[in-house]
Structure 1
């Protein structure tokens, strides 16, 4: 009903309206001005503020992600340093060229200490393996089972790293030729391998040659 009355108001006769009606019209006019002012002045600023808030959220997410990556990088660097330190410790346990004869002497001593006879120590061709070089020796020792068992344990405690591979235990020829064959003599044939560090420049040159060969191989492939 009130809306119908407002619709029927003649603009030219506004001065004839009652005071309450004039106050209502004035309030509506002020409200309309405020709404128009809001859209004219504040809407753009609020939209800009919303965009800035969205950008701030994205920046915080990016910062959090970078912080996690930085922490992971620090952990990886610490782990790498630990690996390098452990590798350097292992390198110090590898014999130098001058220590190889001493190492062979230690093998002889480990055998004689356990009452074994070292029948042969035959050097084999060295085998490059990354930053290290394998130095294998074919060895043959003769003795009783418990002596051979103790010998293999003693080899693990030598001053330099030596590994025993391709172990083969057979009845010794002497035991076979004895009258009763009950001497219990066995012969251990094995590959005793020690290691030494290769020169850094040699390893670097080898890696460079491998990279160049890989690049040349890729460049020669037909493009799909």
Structure 2
């Protein structure tokens, strides 16, 4: 069979075509139908399948994360209760309004008990924060180095929270090497007060 025979093929009488031509036309038709089915239907399905696989992977990771959290839920609850207890204990270390005056007396008594002489004890205005208020106190005291240490240690031992900031120690007498030389300590001591819900609104 040569190419001239192809020109003589009658489209109205396909049954008379040679078997090789019929097979070739059927093969081309099958390829065309398969391509059309893939393009019009299967391609979209494969794309959706990839999307669903990615979604499944994401959901599986989310599930595993939530499952780990659920498995540790009792431990988280216990930890939350411990944190609430600890927070409550810290809040109890903050004085309420009526205890601030007594706390100021405690701070000054601690300095006197350590052997310090107060030159300045000046409470400043209260500064409100989120749920507490700071009461800064500027102090200037004279004493020996070890007395300063006893004072700081005494502040740390108070049952309420007291912090010390901006510490400056100087030697106004200029005595060098003297173990019992009088030094000057300037600092800001801060006490704290818990603000109840009514005060924070």
TM-score in same-fold range (> 0.5): yes
Structure 2's unaligned 5+ residue stretches are: 70-75
Contact 2:167 2:186 in 1 (8 A): yes
Once the two structures are TM-superposed, the CA of residue 151 in structure 1 deviates from its matched residue by 1.3
Aligned residue for 2:110, secondary structure, equals: helix
Q: Aligned residue for 1:213? A: none
Aligned residue for 2:101, secondary structure, equals: helix
Q: Aligned residue for 1:156? A: 156
Q: Given the alignment of the two structures, is residue 135 of structure 1 paired with residue 135 of structure 2, yes or no?
A: yes
Equivalent residue in structure 1 for 2:46, among 50, 53, 57: 50
CA distance in 1, matches of 2:179, 2:7: 134
The structure in which a higher percent of residues are helix is 1
Give the RMSD, CA atoms, in angstroms. 4.4
Contact 2:100 2:193 in 1 (8 A): no
Contact 2:117 2:142 in 1 (8 A): yes
Once the two structures are TM-superposed, the CA of residue 3 in structure 1 deviates from its matched residue by 3.6
Equivalent residue in structure 2 for 1:186, among 169, 183, 191: 183
Change (3 A) 1:90 1:30: same
Residues matched between the structures, number? 180
Aligned residue for 1:95, secondary structure, equals: coil
Change (3 A) 1:6 1:91: farther
- Structure 2 matches for 1:1-224, cutoff 5 A? 2-4=1-3, 6-7=5-6, 9=8, 11=10, 22-35=18-31, 37-38=33-34, 43-56=39-52, 59=55, 63=58, 67=62, 90-118=90-118, 121-169=121-169, 184-204=181-201
The TM-score normalised by the length of structure 1 is 0.55
Aligned residue for 1:100, secondary structure, equals: helix
Once the two structures are TM-superposed, the CA of residue 162 in structure 1 deviates from its matched residue by 1.4
